[in-house]
Amino acid sequence: APSPGRYMGNGCSSAQMSECEKALERGRENHWCSLAGKGLKCVPPPAMEASTLLRLDLSRNMLRELPHTLGKLVNLQALFLRENRLVSLPEEIGLCVALEEIHADSNRLTALPDSVGDLFGLRVLRLRDNLLHTVPNTLGRCHRLRVLDVRALPCLLLLFV
């Protein structure tokens, strides 16, 4: 495993880096990494380099953005981002072609990237309690989408008034 010092200067503390590496090690067998509730203000780079991850939980942190390297997680099937401070998702999320679930409730999202429409296997998209006024038209390409949770969004007022 890379040493935490390798990533210094990226905004993550050495303790957060160490915690991330421990979480990745614990989840190696089941390809699951939970960094929920760790007080993260940035995503530790080792989490974005774990290309075998199937599930990544970054919920209940203080994240304002996700790194563009998210697109390296091509095997990721479920991404949990609940209760952060995210205002957008990177365009590179569309490179996570195995994604089936995105749980991004209770953030500050104002827009979704068009590349969300490239997630053809997406089944669940939870966006409750955000600041979205619309979703991209490209979402219509996600033919497997079964759950689109947009409760408590300003766009509901626009759609149903």
Digit-coded pLDDT (tens) for 109-154 = 998 999 999 999 999 999 999 998 888 889 999 999 999 998 866 6
Contact between 121 and 144 (Cβ < 8 Å): yes
Q: How confident is the model at residue 56 (pLDDT cuts 50, 70, 90)?
A: very high
Q: Which of 5-9, 30-34, 36-40, 54-58 has the lowest mean pLDDT?
A: 5-9
Tokens of 33: 């990494």
Contact between 35 and 23 (Cβ < 8 Å): yes
37 in helix, strand or coil?
coil
pTM for the model stands at 0.86
Q: What is the pLDDT of residue 127?
A: 94
Q: How confident is the model at residue 98 (pLDDT cuts 50, 70, 90)?
A: very high
